Amino acid sequence: MWKKLFGIITLTSSIVFAEEALQELEQGDIDFSALLYQQIGLSTVGNIILSPFSVLVVLGLTLFGAKGDTAVELSQGLHLPNSQEKIKDAFKSLLPKLKGNQYFSLSSANKIYIKNGYTINPDFLKLAEDVFETDLESINFSDTSKAANTINKWVESKTNGKIKNFIEASALDPLTRLMLINAIYFKGNWTSQFPSQATRKRKFYKYGKQEIEVDTMFQSSNFKFSDNKELDAKFLQIPYKGSDIIFTIAVPNQQNGLGALEQKLPQVLRQQNYSTTKVNLYLPKFRINSSFKLIPALEKLGIKKVFSREADLSGLLTNKEPLTVSTVLQKAFINVTESGTEAAAVTGVGVAPTSIIIPDNGVNLRVDRPFFYSISYKNFPIFVGRVVSPEI
């Protein structure tokens, strides 16, 4: 009896610990997403598609090869849970959930490319395989063209061909020891699709008073809607069929209010006070491709040692030589249409030595100005971005 009771207590404690770890990871993902986006937004003009979650996964994996102050700084900068056990439990619980079904496609894939003749630390490899479901492949980084081609083919296969030419041969050299890559791909259909015959050229007001005509979708449906007076913005959630994945738009009330809204992004990404409301929604179609070198933004978030000569990444390889992260790249893509959304992102960490009848009832939401959007799994932001000029 006591053995059975002990087993039940142990199991219950383990579940509670995992839930606590997952909640901490969720909060950290929100904070990190907001801060990284803000840094990217400051240095980027125009539309953005970014997956902070992809960065979180690949640098979270890197964390387990880091030691000492390098590990502490990396963990704090990524806003991860306060112990490696919690980090492991949280990712082990979350990552298997990011898989598709018959209604939508969702995949998060990890890969480690290691230079021929080098050996991964067995403890790091076990964790990479068990927790992050990571594949390992040896590669000849000395042949930079062939190595880049190999990596690019894998990325393209994991993003349904949407991310091409992820890394250039010039980004690799014979000193590259490892490439750690995370690829995220999502394609889903709206629960309530926009009728294609309702799409019209409608006005969109860019920054200032510049007015353009863009393909704008329309539907009148019940949505989760919130008018947040404190943030001076309206929020609306569009669910995807057969999933816990939600597309959220945040439209500032002021014509040029996106900049002020972006400064409050941690509050924007948190759950709003939604109520189900009949909404006449006008939403532009858009397609965005983005490419970012992320080290400058990450350094501004306090992650510095891992990119410097002071880095301690001695837990990655059995070969004893100083290592540093020399490259963090991300390419991302999103396409929003009447039927749904297709989005993809890849982050790589390079490690080297050192005419429709409009209803007359319901709320009218015209997304006719620069706005912020996110795609989230439950409350975990996966993709975030902004549209300042809808492009197709």
β-pairing verdict for 371-377 and 245-252: antiparallel
3-state SS, the chain, equals: CHHHHHHHHHHHHHHHHHHHHHHHHHHHHHHHHHHHHHHHHHCCCCCEEECHHHHHHHHHHHHCCCCHHHHHHHHHHCCCCCCHHHHHHHHHHHHHHCCCCCCEEEEEEEEEEEECCCCECHHHHHHHHHCCCEEEEEECCCCHHHHHHHHHHHHHHHCCCCCCCCCCHHHCCCCCCEEEEEEEEEEEEECCCCCHHHCEEEEEECCCCCEEEEEEEEEEEEEEEEEECCCCEEEEEEEECCCCEEEEEEEECCCCCHHHHHCCHHHHHCCCCCEEEEEEEEEECEEEEEEEECHHHHHHCCCCHHHCCCCCCCCCECCCCCEEEEEEEEEEEEEECCCEEEEEEEEEEEEEECCCCCCCCCEEEECCCCEEEEEEECCEEEEEEEECCCCC
Q: Confirm if 249 and 274 have CB atoms less than 8 A apart.
A: no
Examine the pLDDT at 7 and tell me if it is beyond 60.
Answer: no
Examine the pLDDT at 11 and tell me if it is beyond 50.
Answer: no
Instruction: Please give the share of the chain, as a percent, with pLDDT higher than 90.
Output: 46
Structure tokens at 386: 């902004």
pLDDT at 6: 44
**Mean pLDDT lowest for which of 71-75, 202-206, 313-317?**
313-317
Q: From CA 271, how far away is CA 235, in angstroms rounded?
A: 10
Cβ count near 39 (within 10 Å)? 18
325: nearest Cα among 188, 186, 179, 218: 179
Give the mean pLDDT of 273-300: 92
pLDDT tens-digit readout, 39-58: 999 888 899 999 999 999 99
pLDDT at 108: 80
Structural fold of domain 1-392: Antithrombin; Chain I, domain 2 (3.30.497)
pLDDT at 4: 40
| Residue with more model confidence, 370 or 119 | 370
Q: Confirm if 216 and 202 have CB atoms less than 8 A apart.
A: yes
Q: What is the pTM of this model?
A: 0.89
pLDDT at 16: 54
17 confidence band (pLDDT: 50, 70, 90): low
Domain spans in the chain, listed from the N-terminal domain onward? 1-392
Examine the pLDDT at 9 and tell me if it is beyond 60.
Answer: no
Rounded to 5°, angle at Cα 257 from 253 and 261: 95
pLDDT tens-digit readout, 167-200: 889 888 888 887 888 888 888 889 988 999 999 9
Chain mean pLDDT for the chain = 86
Examine the pLDDT at 14 and tell me if it is beyond 50.
Answer: no
pLDDT tens-digit readout, 225-281: 999 999 999 999 999 988 788 999 999 999 899 999 999 999 999 989 999 999 999
pLDDT at 352: 67
Q: Confirm if 284 and 390 have CB atoms less than 8 A apart.
A: yes
Give the mean pLDDT of 342-370: 75
